[in-house]
Every structure is written in C-alpha cells, then in structure tokens.
C-alpha cells in the first residue's frame, strides 16, 4: 500500500489516502515511561456523507491489539479497505515524528528567505514570539486586538504593512463580551467590516492546555495567536525559568506568529523596562573573579544563588541586558553601617524574607518561618523590615582540583607573610604557635629550610624568618602564579575550584598571617594588594561567609595603602525602612538572567545577593514597550511604542497612537512622532543610515557630511537586486535597505 500524504502542524498529525478517500487524524500524543505511545485517533471517510467512523478515540499507537480493535471497528462500518495497514502506517509515521522531532536539514543546500519576514511590518516578526509590555491601563490589550483585526482583515495602515491571515485570541483576563465590543470599535475606526476571529477564554496555563490550543490552531488554520496576558498563561509566575520555559515550549510547538501581552508593575521612573537592573558601577562575581557588570558576557560563569538550597552554583547567564535609563533608582544600605550597598531600578527583583521574631519569653531558638521569595525594590520602600540573604552555604558545584591542604596552608601563609629572596621562598612570622605550624608544614611538604630569629620594627617583636632551601622551582612558580611583590599578590585561580578542605586550609592560613578574629566570629584581613583583597573576599564567599572590601589610605606605620576585607558569619541581614531610599539616576543599567533567579554582586566593595531579570522577557525575538505620552482627558489616552533590542538596550520609537474610548469611529489615531531627521539622530548607526537613504542621501559624500565622517570611509554599492549596501569605516557598520526609487 502506498504511503499516505502526511501533514503535521501544532502537534496534530493528518494522514490522507486520497485515492481511498480516507483521513486519519492523530493528536494529544504522550509517551509513557514504559515506552508506550498513546494518543487520540479520529478516522473519516471523506468521500461519503457523514463519513466520520471514529471520533477522538484513545489508541495505543505501538500496541498491535489496540490498533486491531480500531481496524475491526472501521471494517464493520465500511468494509473493503485495508484498515489495519492504514492505521499501522499512520501510527508508525506519527511515532517516528514524535520521537525524532523536526527532520534534520542540510544548511548548505536549504533555501533561505532573504531579509526579515513580518506578519505586520515592522511590528510582528513572522513565525516568532513577539512581546508587548508596559504598565497597566496603557491600552496594551486594545492594541493587541488592533493588530489582530489588521491581520484578520488584511487592512494595511500608513505605518503597518500587513499580511492577512486567520487569528486566534487566547484571553486570560477579560471576557468575550468586552473583547467583542473592542473588536467592533476597532473595526469601525478602520472603516471595515468586522473580520472573523477565533476567540477562546482560557483559565489554564498554556503549557497545561496546549493540546486544546493545538487543535484550535490546526482546525482554524491560525497564522497569528494573541496571548493576553503572560502572567496567567505562565501559571502566574512569568518571572520563573521553569514556568516560562514551559510556556514558550508550548508556544513554539504551535508554529505560529504570536503576540504576548505582559504587564510590569506601576510606578518607578520615566525610563523603565521589564528587566530590573543594577547601576553601572555594580560588579558581578564570576569564576574568573569580580567583573564590572557592563563587561559580563554569556560565556562567563557567574556565582548564582539557589533560593531553595542557599548554595552558590557556577552557571552561565542565559541573557545579558544593558540599556540606557533615566529616572529613580532604589538605594539599599544595611542597618549596620557599611554592611550593604545596592542600587537598582524600582522594578528590580529583590530576594527577601520578612523580618520575623518569636514572641518575648519563648524558649524555642530563633527560626524564620518563611522561605526566600521575590519582592520588587519599590515594594520595600517604607513599611515593614525585611531580611536579605547575606551569605550562602558555600559552593555546590566544585571541580575538586587536586592539591593537599598542607600546601594550601603554605600558600596562605606565603601570600600573607611571605616573600622571595631571589627565587627562594621566605616566610616571616612572630614567634608562637603559627610560626611553629609553619615549620612543621614546610617539613611535612618535604622542603629543607633554615630559620633566623630577630627583632621587628617598630613593634620590637621576636620574629622568625623561615627560608626554604633548594626550592628554586617553587619560588619561580610562586612568582608566576601568586605575583611578585606585596602589592601584586593574588590567589591562584585553580584554588577556587579546590575541595572544601583545601579552601578552608587556605583561608585559615590567610587569617593567621594577616588577619584577626573577633569573639563574635567576625574576621578582618588586610593587604596592600587590591587583587589579593578581592580574592580573599571571593574565597570567603565560597566558604559561606559574607564579606566586603574597604580601602584604607596608608596607615602611619606602613609604607603602602591597605585594603581591608571584613568577613561576617551572619547568613542574613536586616533591612529597615530607613535603610531604603530613592535617588535620581541617569546612565546605563545592567542585569543578567540566570537559571537560579539570583546572583552575587558587589558595589563599592559590598557584596549582595539579589534577583535577576524576569525570565519571560528573554525568549521573544521582538520586544516592544508601551509608554504613556499624556493623559488627554477622561476618555482618551495617547501612548507610544518603543522597540527594545535585547542585549543591546537600543531603543527606537517608530510609532505613536491615541485611543479615543468613547468615539468608535476614531478609536485609533496614528500620530507622527518625529520627522525623519530627528528620528535618525537618535538611532543606532545602521538605522541612521537607513533613515538617511530614505531621505535621499544616496551618495557617499552626502552620507559622510550628515554623519560627520570622512568621505573615503563611506561606501555605497548597488547590488544586483537594486539594494544599496552602505559601509561606514572599515565595514563595521552596514545596512541593507530597499531601493527608494
């Protein structure tokens, strides 16, 4: 028997034997842990009236007995066909596709569509998820429905070029009556008949409801799917990685263009986004050490804080966000002077617990009854006190570098109290238990040594100088790995991947050498090397301590400036309302998205644990922000749409609208935002070139003059397809744009 024509879309398999007039549909497929694949089967004889033989019956696709039962049933209804063979073919092909997924293709031979494809140009990327976000009450849902009406009707506007298609609307917030009224108002404003649109009220998360939505997409041949809104469609947790990945995985299986409406909390400054970011002077703890936030890349392994286990995990960020910001920021300082310094946007997610204390007189030990959770920074202004995480349980995923604790102790002493006499390592320490331990450890490591004793100035203490003999190789290694001279010392990077015992031995020796221990468990370490101070702070953090680095100008009795590391065993820090304030800020802000939802940062030497950017903004290819321009009166609203490019923070505002809620004939007005000259000056260089070409600057001389560039650095070429390609500089900037003639 010939193989059927097989079509697979949105998780639904359609098999057609055209010569026999038979169609088999398989959907809702699931594979159990025992390897059995189950699904729903519908079988139709397409060439006879009322030809539906089987409707949504359960079928175990790889069970011969189950297939035989369905085949016998069909044969009883319409004999004369090889039902068993057709059902077997459909089941085999569906299982293969289910397990293998999309077929592999050869990129070298596949046909590639030139340029970017839009369903609504330049707003909706075709076959991609698109996101529109903003404060509540700005008309996002109305604008999403406006886009739906444009696609459903194929009506283009002066700003939008539209490809017509069928539209599905998944409504998680309003109801069909309200949406129907808006549908009618928008259609009236566009002076068109109400186009057909498939509407579905939803109350289940999309990942749990995807099979029903797959059926809707397949049966109605949907090209655009509106999801209003992201919160309930992601189980109410659009900031979580697990929920959001499940949402976008379900959305991706539908293989349609989608527009997702998302909300951010009201309030904050005039320039905000869904990202929630840190000030530009914040640093991030990476496996390579502290790194300025603007320099962190996707390849860096970042110290991520797991809210459930309270361990640090080295993880690579999934997204990096950098963008311009102007407005209020929230500044956090600790209740204890100098214990915390965090500066974030008002919508940044902070990791908190309520500051809870047991009633007076209770004999139970203190225990906080709540788990770590997220609050936006703006929500912590005034009101209650909160606990912030101040330390962790240490590092969870350590690579276990092979090194002995004894050698780690030697390194700790040498970094604090050591030097080189030529290439011979020397340890210097006041006579006492630590000096005795140094001699014993050096002997245990197998090195020959000789000790000298004398008085130190200005303290007039008896000190020991322990010189290692026949250790030239070790001396050269110390110089290469640990630095030459006190101001240049550092901890070798491999020690941060050593076992807990090794890191504890190193840390103890460092404190014994140049540190001090207070009765309350707090420690202090001093060094003339800024790098070593940073490394000691990082080492303390990996061991489960909180730590901060403070600069101290050259003390009276010392020749060099000092960096002091304050090490604190406290696991959490109480933040009172008086420790939180708003400040004005203008500049760049930065954030990461990490798998655990939080990571370790530092500002002005003070470490902190705080949340990352909400996960739902990272997966769409196109992200648009709605901003209110002005409230004109009680019945109208003016807003603008800004396009945000993820990972660059670049913004452009190509369109603005006014909504008249009480005038159905003019529900949407398209407004001119700026003239082309003004618009081009605020754009990134490739888009500026596009704007220049659109205004008629078609030669190198005029482009160079407008961009204030040298003429010999500008190239304009005409391709075979009459597209102009512009190069500025040494090919660093370029843009392909349609011929304007």
The CATH number linked to 157 is 3.40.50.300
Instruction: Round to whole Å and give the CA distance between 111 and 101.
Output: 20
The DSSP output letter for 485 is S
> Could you tell me if 417 and 510 lie in one domain?
yes
Angle at 323 between CA 289 and CA 133, to 5 degrees: 120
Residue at a domain's end among 100, 128, 157 = 100
Give counts: helices (H), strands (E), the chain.
15, 42
> Could you tell me if 158 and 183 lie in one domain?
yes
Instruction: Round to whole Å and give the CA distance between 153 and 492.
Output: 65
Residue pair 59/67 in contact (Cβ under 8 Å)? The answer is: yes
Pairing of strands 714-718, 724-728: antiparallel
* DSSP string covering 241-310: HHHHHHHHHHHHHH-SEEEEEEE--S-S-SS--SS--EETTEEEEETTEEEEGGG--TTS-EEEE-TTT-
> Could you tell me if 43 and 89 lie in one domain?
yes
The DSSP output letter for 154 is T
Mean pLDDT of each 10-residue bin along the chain, 741 residues long: 84 89 90 89 88 85 93 91 94 88 72 72 84 76 89 82 94 86 82 92 89 88 92 69 76 90 55 68 96 93 92 89 83 76 89 66 46 84 85 80 89 94 91 92 92 76 89 92 92 91 94 90 93 96 94 72 91 87 91 89 93 61 65 53 49 52 49 36 48 50 58 46 43 37 34
Phi/psi of residue 666, nearest 5 degrees: -135, 50
- Range 697-700 contact pairs with CB under 8 angstroms and sequence separation of 24 or more: 698/724, 698/740
> Could you tell me if 259 and 211 lie in one domain?
yes
CA distances from 617 to 134, 143, 263, 537 (A): 12, 19, 11, 33
Instruction: Round to whole Å and give the CA distance between 396 and 316.
Output: 15
**Does 672 fall in a domain?**
no
**pLDDT at residue 666 in the model:** 46
**pLDDT at residue 30 in the model:** 86
Angle at 262 between CA 261 and CA 264, to 5 degrees: 150
**pLDDT at residue 184 in the model:** 85
CB atoms within 10 A of CB 295: 12
Which residues, in sequence order, are CB contacts of 694 under 8 Å at separation 6+?
676, 737, 740
> Could you tell me if 501 and 535 lie in one domain?
yes
- Token pair 């210097």 is at which residue? 428
Peptide bond between residue 122 and the one before it cis (omega within 30 degrees of 0) = yes
> Could you tell me if 80 and 186 lie in one domain?
no
Angle at 74 between CA 68 and CA 80, to 5 degrees: 105
Pair of tokens at residue 177:
């009556």
Range of the domain at 96: 5-100
**Does 362 fall in a domain?**
no
- Report the domain count for the chain: 5
Q: Give the sign of the dihedral formed by CA 156, CA 161, CA 164, CA 168.
A: negative
Return the CATH number at 462: 3.10.28.10
**pLDDT at residue 679 in the model:** 34
- Token pair 């024509």 is at which residue? 5
Residue at a domain's end among 100, 134, 163 = 100
Angle at 457 between CA 450 and CA 475, to 5 degrees: 35
**pLDDT at residue 531 in the model:** 96
Determine the 3-state secondary structure of 642 from DSSP.
strand
> Could you tell me if 549 and 424 lie in one domain?
yes
Instruction: Round to whole Å and give the CA distance between 286 and 669.
Output: 49
**Does 250 fall in a domain?**
yes
**Does 676 fall in a domain?**
no
Residue pair 544/392 in contact (Cβ under 8 Å)? The answer is: yes
Q: With CA atoms as reference, report the closest residue to 277 among 204, 350, 183.
A: 350
**Does 673 fall in a domain?**
no
Residue pair 166/220 in contact (Cβ under 8 Å)? The answer is: yes
Instruction: Round to whole Å and give the CA distance between 506 and 306.
Output: 25
Q: Give the sign of the dihedral formed by CA 183, CA 186, CA 191, CA 192.
A: negative
Which residues, in sequence order, are CB contacts of 281 under 8 Å at separation 6+?
292, 343, 603, 604
Determine the 3-state secondary structure of 595 from DSSP.
coil
Phi/psi of residue 588, nearest 5 degrees: -95, 150
- With b for 16 or more beta-carbon neighbours within 10 A and e for fewer, the 306-327 pattern comes to bbeebbbbbbbbbbbbbbebeb
* DSSP string covering 648-666: T--EEEEEEEEEETT-GGG
> Could you tell me if 158 and 240 lie in one domain?
yes
Instruction: Round to whole Å and give the CA distance between 171 and 227.
Output: 6
Which residues, in sequence order, are CB contacts of 711 under 8 Å at separation 6+?
700, 701, 704
> Could you tell me if 476 and 512 lie in one domain?
yes
Instruction: Round to whole Å and give the CA distance between 442 and 413.
Output: 11
- Range 78-82 contact pairs with CB under 8 angstroms and sequence separation of 24 or more: 78/45, 78/48, 78/53, 81/20, 81/22, 82/1
- Range 177-184 contact pairs with CB under 8 angstroms and sequence separation of 24 or more: 179/145, 182/141, 182/142, 182/145, 183/145, 183/149, 184/664
Residue pair 11/101 in contact (Cβ under 8 Å)? The answer is: no
CB atoms within 10 A of CB 264: 22
> Could you tell me if 137 and 265 lie in one domain?
yes
Angle at 212 between CA 209 and CA 216, to 5 degrees: 130
> Could you tell me if 271 and 298 lie in one domain?
no
> Could you tell me if 426 and 563 lie in one domain?
yes
Q: Which value, in Å, is the radius of gyration of the alpha carbons in the chain?
A: 33
**pLDDT at residue 627 in the model:** 62
**Does 557 fall in a domain?**
yes
**pLDDT at residue 646 in the model:** 41
Return the CATH number at 729: 1.10.10.10
Instruction: Round to whole Å and give the CA distance between 655 and 123.
Output: 10
**Does 399 fall in a domain?**
no
**pLDDT at residue 323 in the model:** 77
pTM > 0.85: yes or no: no
Instruction: Round to whole Å and give the CA distance between 619 and 133.
Output: 14
**Does 109 fall in a domain?**
no
Element (H, E) at 629: strand 622-633
Pairing of strands 37-45, 52-60: antiparallel
Residue pair 100/37 in contact (Cβ under 8 Å)? The answer is: no
Alpha helix (H) residue ranges in 109-197: 140-153, 176-189
Determine the 3-state secondary structure of 195 from DSSP.
coil
């Amino acid at each position: 028997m010939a193989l059927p024509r097989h079509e697979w879309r949105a998780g639904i398999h359609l098999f057609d034997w055209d010569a026999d007039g038979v169609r088999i549909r398989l959907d809702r497929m699931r594979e159990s842990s025992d390897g059995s694949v189950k699904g729903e089967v519908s079988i139709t004889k397409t060439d006879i009236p009322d030809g539906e033989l089987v409707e949504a019956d359960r079928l175990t696709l790889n069970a011969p007995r189950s297939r035989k039962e369905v085949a016998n049933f069909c044969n009883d209804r319409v004999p004369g066909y090889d039902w068993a063979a057709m059902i077997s073919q459909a089941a085999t092909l569906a299982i293969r596709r289910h397990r293998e997924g999309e077929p592999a293709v050869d990129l070298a031979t596949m046909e590639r569509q030139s340029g970017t494809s839009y369903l609504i140009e330049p707003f909706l990327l075709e076959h991609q998820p698109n996101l529109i976000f903003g404060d509540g009450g700005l008309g996002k849902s109305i604008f999403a429905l406006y886009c739906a009406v444009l696609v459903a009707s194929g009506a283009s506007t002066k700003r939008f070029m539209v490809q017509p298609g069928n539209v599905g609307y998944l409504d998680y917030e309003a109801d069909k009556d309200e949406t129907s009224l808006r549908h009618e108002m928008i259609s009236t404003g566009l002076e068109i008949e109400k186009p057909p649109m498939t509407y579905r009220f939803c109350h289940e998360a999309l990942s749990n409801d995807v099979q029903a939505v797959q059926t809707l997409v397949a049966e109605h041949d949907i090209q655009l799917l509106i999801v209003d809104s992201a919160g309930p469609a992601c189980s109410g947790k659009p900031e979580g990685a697990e929920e959001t990945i499940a949402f976008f995985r379900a959305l991706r299986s539908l293989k349609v263009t989608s527009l997702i409406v998302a909300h951010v909390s009201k309030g904050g400054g005039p320039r905000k986004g869904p990202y929630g970011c840190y000030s530009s002077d914040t640093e991030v703890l990476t496996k390579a050490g502290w790194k300025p936030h603007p320099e962190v890349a996707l390849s860096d392994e970042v110290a991520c804080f797991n809210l459930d286990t309270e361990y640090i995990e080295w993880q690579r960020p999934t997204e990096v966000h950098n963008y311009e910001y102007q407005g209020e920021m929230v500044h956090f300082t600790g209740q204890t002077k100098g214990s915390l310094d965090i500066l974030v946007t008002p919508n940044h997610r902070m990791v908190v617990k309520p500051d809870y204390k047991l009633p007076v007189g209770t004999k139970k030990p203190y225990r906080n009854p709540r788990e770590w959770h997220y609050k936006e920074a703006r929500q912590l202004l005034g009101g209650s006190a909160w606990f912030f995480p101040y330390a962790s349980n240490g590092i969870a995923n350590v690579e276990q570098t092979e090194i002995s604790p004894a050698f780690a102790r030697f390194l700790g002493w040498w970094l604090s109290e050591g030097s080189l006499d030529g290439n011979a390592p020397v340890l210097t320490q006041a006579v006492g238990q630590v000096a005795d331990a140094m001699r014993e450890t050096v002997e245990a490591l197998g090195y020959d040594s000789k000790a000298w004793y004398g008085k130190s100035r200005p303290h007039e203490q008896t000190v020991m100088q322990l010189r290692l003999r026949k250790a030239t190789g070790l001396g050269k290694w110390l110089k290469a790995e640990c630095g030459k001279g006190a101001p240049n010392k550092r901890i070798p990077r491999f020690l941060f991947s050593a076992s807990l015992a090794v890191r504890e031995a190193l840390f103890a020796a460092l404190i014994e050498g140049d540190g001090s221990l207070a009765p309350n468990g707090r420690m202090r370490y001093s060094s003339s090397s800024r790098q070593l101070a940073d490394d000691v702070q990082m080492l303390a953090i990996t061991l489960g301590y909180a730590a901060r680095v403070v600069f101290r100008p050259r003390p009276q009795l010392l020749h060099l400036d000092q960096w002091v590391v304050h090490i604190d065993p406290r696991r959490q820090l109480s933040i009172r309302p008086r420790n939180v304030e708003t400040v004005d800020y203008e500049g760049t802000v930065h954030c990461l998205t990490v798998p655990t939802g939080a990571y370790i940062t530092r500002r002005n030497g003070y470490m902190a644990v705080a949340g990352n950017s909400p996960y739902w903004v990272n997966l769409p290819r196109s992200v648009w922000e709605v901003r209110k321009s002005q409230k004109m009166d009680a019945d109208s609203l003016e807003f603008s749409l800004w396009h945000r490019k993820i990972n660059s923070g670049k913004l452009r505002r190509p369109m603005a609208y006014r909504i008249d809620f009480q005038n159905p004939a003019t529900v949407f007005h398209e407004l001119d935002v700026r003239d082309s000259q003004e618009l081009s000056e605020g754009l990134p260089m490739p888009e500026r070139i596009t704007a220049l070409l659109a205004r008629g600057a078609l030669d190198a001389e005029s482009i160079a003059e407008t961009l204030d560039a040298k003429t010999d650095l500008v190239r304009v070429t005409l391709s075979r397809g009459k597209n102009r390609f512009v190069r500025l500089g040494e090919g660093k900037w370029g843009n392909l744009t349609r011929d304007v003639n």
